[in-house]
Structure 1
Amino acid sequence: MSFEAIVIGGNFAGLSAAMQLARALRRVLLVDAGAPRNRYSPASHGFLGQDGQSPAAIMREGKRQLALYPTVTIRDGEVVQARADGGEFVIGIRGGGEERVARIVLATGIRDTLPEIAGLPDRWGHSVLHCPYCHGYEVSGGRLGVLANHPLSAHSAMLIPDWGETTYFTQALFEPDEEQLVRLTARGVRIERSPVVELLGDSPRLEAVRLTDGRIVPLDAVFVAPKTAMASPLAEQLGCVFDDGPSGPVIRTGDNKETTVKGVFAAGDAASAMHNATLASASGVLAGVHCHQSLAMQSAG
């Protein structure tokens, strides 16, 4: 067995997990498919020490630092198969054969499904945003909108006025209940019930949205929580249990980030209902530390 552990995914969570294993002198393989969820965003914000850096630049530097550790191997590629075998795991890498490992850290991330609205996808990560804590400061003072896409959309709309004048578009899908309506009104949120059908302006900038009744509403940015799905089938292949998150399935883990399959750990957006660069990195640290402790305790008998 060439490697003791494999970390699948080279974004913030995966790099953080691999770093802990590397510093514990464990032989670790990191495999990165090179398609992180945050690749559409020009900058990462609210990440201490990295505020304003592009996600790609942060990951490049992370890999550079990780590669300095002699027990680490970094490989570009996609892990397409994973199965348990005799107390270990066999990993299949597309075009790269198989590897046998004792532990797995899944940092495989999630895939976003955006509402089917004309002009929305090409603005994703720029003027169409998912997280006010990640991007709200950069659009503060502007005319902001919230597109209802799930039952918690009204709650999100209550937060956005701290960054700017806010309109909540129900999309004729998620009408606020009486209590929500009182709170939205108290926060100064305008309620618009005619659905948005098109985003307007010189993309990726946003100037306005067109409603189904033909009206044009000026806006500088809109927030929307996309529906999410696993970006990789590996957790399902391994038999991990999932929980229902607010936007899609989440890999179930304990406080030590171990999944319901012994020896398989998970970190990052795939294993958390809250999606944030700092939280992803922190969960990767936990997964890496507990993965190491699992290996150490196994050798102790």
Structure 2
Amino acid sequence: MRYDVIIAGGSYAGMSAGLQLARARRNVLVIDAGQRRNRFAASSHGFLGQDGRAPGDIVEEARRQLLAYPTVEWVSSTAIAASQEAGGFAVETVDGQRYSAQCLLLACGVIDELPDVEGLTQRWGKSVFHCPYCHGYELEQGPIGVLATSPMSLHHALMLPDWGPTTFFTRGVFEPDAEQLESLARRGVVVVPERVERLEGERADVVLADGRVVAIDGLFVLPRIQVAGSLAASLGCALEDGPLGAFIQADPMTRETSVRGVFACGDAAMPFGSVALAVGDGVRAGSGVHRSLIFGAH
């Protein structure tokens, strides 16, 4: 069977796009292996109507609603290659299957490249976070840390005092200038330049190279990102440099990439991401694909 669209990635953005296309009675194939970016978090916040729910529960309910539409199919696998063919695109999965569609939507997400600090990885999504809007409120105004990963971390450090007293661990990665130090002081941020040795304790207490321990209820980090998978590269989609890493370049309205007939949405196509933003971006992409199916020439 040849589909109207193949959606590579069935998390929040991919399913949101698929819902728009299903309601337009288009034949949709979603290929997804279940590796959501926020799979490490116990709860999701800031998404209207779903605040505080477990991410897995949100996804399962969304999938149930999407698959209730008879024109939607789901393949639990990973898309590993894509290529252009006459009248559309072909996608291959890791288990050797091949599928064809008129349009292709990349909702493949990103991979977070976490700092190499002992104890950080196992706390990711539990007491180490990237988004204060998603996780800051639940810290109940307790002590907060910001671990510098780049100059962008200054913005993080200036934001977070609204959620609790903040310590900025610059660790030699970033050295604030006099003006920036003044801005941090006005916000009550304590700057600690020493190297961070490791994280320990039930939450995310920071152990410094000199042996001091700074008690922290939650640590915020801006990891570098990379687009997950190889589909964008294999198709030749242009990338755009963002403050945290490259993402797929896509039209602001239609979400079409530099390759005609290939669309992108969600974290893979934005410089910053959240569940709510991904869902909204999926709506834009789904309607963009639909308009292309009606008016485009592939």
Q: Displacement of 1:109 after TM fit?
A: 0.3
Q: Which residue of 2 aligns with 1:239?
A: 236
Q: How does 1:201-220 map to 2 (within 5 A)?
A: 201-202=201-202, 205-206=203-204, 208-220=205-217
Q: Which residue of 1 aligns with 2:128?
A: 128
1:258 aligns with 2:256: yes
Q: Which residue of 2 aligns with 1:157?
A: 157
Q: How does 1:245-284 map to 2 (within 5 A)?
A: 245-255=242-252, 256-284=254-282
Q: Displacement of 1:140 after TM fit?
A: 3.2
Between the aligned partners of 1:55 and 1:232, the Cα distance in structure 2 is: 22
Q: Which residue of 2 aligns with 1:228?
A: 225
1:10 aligns with 2:10: yes
Q: Which amino acid aligns with 2:256?
A: E
Identity %, equivalent residues: 47
Task: Give the length in aligned residue pairs.
Answer: 297
Between the aligned partners of 1:289 and 1:96, the Cα distance in structure 2 is: 30
Between the aligned partners of 2:179 and 2:84, the Cα distance in structure 1 is: 50
> Deviation per CA, 1:95-129, whole angstroms, max 9, x where unpaired?
25111111011000000111111111100001001
Instruction: State TM-score, norm by structure 1.
Output: 0.96
Q: Displacement of 1:197 after TM fit?
A: 1.2
Between the aligned partners of 1:155 and 1:249, the Cα distance in structure 2 is: 19
Between the aligned partners of 1:194 and 1:94, the Cα distance in structure 2 is: 45
SS state at 2:39 partner? helix
Q: Displacement of 1:180 after TM fit?
A: 1.2
SS state at 1:83 partner? strand
Q: Which residue of 2 aligns with 1:180?
A: 180
Q: Displacement of 1:195 after TM fit?
A: 1.6
Q: Displacement of 1:178 after TM fit?
A: 2.0
SS state at 1:122 partner? helix
Q: Which amino acid aligns with 2:185?
A: T
Mapped contact 2:6–2:100 kept (Cα < 8 A): no
Q: Displacement of 1:87 after TM fit?
A: 3.4
Between the aligned partners of 1:80 and 1:30, the Cα distance in structure 2 is: 14
> Deviation per CA, 1:238-286, whole angstroms, max 9, x where unpaired?
1100011111111001121110111111001000012111100100110
Q: Which residue of 2 aligns with 1:292?
A: 290
Q: How does 1:13-162 map to 2 (within 5 A)?
A: 13-162=13-162
Instruction: State TM-score, norm by structure 2.
Output: 0.97
1:190 aligns with 2:190: yes
SS state at 2:118 partner? coil
SS state at 2:3 partner? coil
Unaligned runs of 5+ in 1: none
Between the aligned partners of 2:95 and 2:215, the Cα distance in structure 1 is: 49
Between the aligned partners of 1:238 and 1:216, the Cα distance in structure 2 is: 49
Mapped contact 2:88–2:102 kept (Cα < 8 A): yes
Unaligned runs of 5+ in 2: none
Between the aligned partners of 2:63 and 2:51, the Cα distance in structure 1 is: 18
Q: Displacement of 1:34 after TM fit?
A: 1.0
> Deviation per CA, 1:192-238, whole angstroms, max 9, x where unpaired?
01121111113xx33x2110111111111110011111111100111
**Structure 1 ranges of 4+ moved more than 3 A:** none
The two structures, once aligned, show a CA RMSD in angstroms of 1.2
